[in-house]
Amino acid sequence: MKFHNFTILLTSLAFVAVALPANAQTVKIGLVDVQRAVITVKDGVAVKGKLERLLKQKQNEFDKMQEDVKKLKDELETQMSTMREELRRQKMQEYQKKMVELQEYYMGNQQELAAKEAELTAPILERLEKILIKLGKDEGFTVILNSSAALYNSGAIDLTDRLIKLYDSGAGK
């Protein structure tokens, strides 16, 4: 389940809890910092390392392309006055083409990295969700919310550290 969907689910559960009559049950609310949990669990640390390595590789490729574009620009600036019109037009087109390629490469990398992050974190989020559902049922929580969705949380129980420990101990598989 994607992070966004997970947040929507948790927020929806909060509305259900608020809609319950006050005398129907005691309300027990838990909060979880899902983002912190994802990056703190052992699998999340491994994912972060993979993403950083991929980012570094992509950055090196981007830097090489950027250097090639800079060389072409410098060549154009220094030799512009001595070039024949046809050669100047050809070099300008080549420079513009390389600039477009550089921008497309950058945008493609951003999309690729976001997709890779979603792919690698999806199994972590699924396990976290399983753990939270079990924890919620076992301990009688009315609702467990992502802490980013709570504007005020007096009386709520922060379950983030417990969630991380349960995940790292193998729960939710």
DSSP output for 94-125: HHHHHHHHHHHHHHHHHHHHHHHHHHHHHHHH
pLDDT at site 150: 86
- Helix, strand, coil tally for the chain in percent (to 5): 75, 5, 20
Q: For the chain, how big is the Rg over CA atoms in Å?
A: 26
pLDDT: is 13 or 140 the higher one?
A: 140
Would you kindly state where each structural domain of the chain is located, as residue ranges?
3-168
pLDDT tens per residue across span 46-80 = 999 999 999 999 999 999 999 999 998 998 888 88
Higher pLDDT, 1 or 49: 49
Q: What is the average pLDDT value for the chain, to the nearest integer? A: 87
CA distance 172 to 136: 13
63 C-beta neighbours (distance < 10 Å), count? 10
- pLDDT above 50 for 153: yes
pLDDT for the residue 136: 95
Identify the pLDDT of residue 9: 47
Distance CA 10, CA 13 (A): 5
Residue that is written with structure tokens 């976290």 in the block: 128
Percent of the residues in the chain that have a pLDDT greater than 90, as a whole number: 66
The pairs formed by 110-113 with CB atoms below 8 angstroms and a separation of 24 or more are 112/58, 113/51, 113/54, 113/55, 113/58
Provide the percentage of residues in the chain whose pLDDT is more than 70: 86
The CATH superfamily label for domain 3-168 reads Skp domain (3.30.910.20)
Residues 6-53: pLDDT tens digits?
A: 555 445 544 545 555 544 568 899 999 999 999 999 999 999 999 999
pTM value > 0.85: no
Arithmetic mean of pLDDT, 145-158? 87
- CA atoms of 30 and 69, how far apart (whole Å): 53
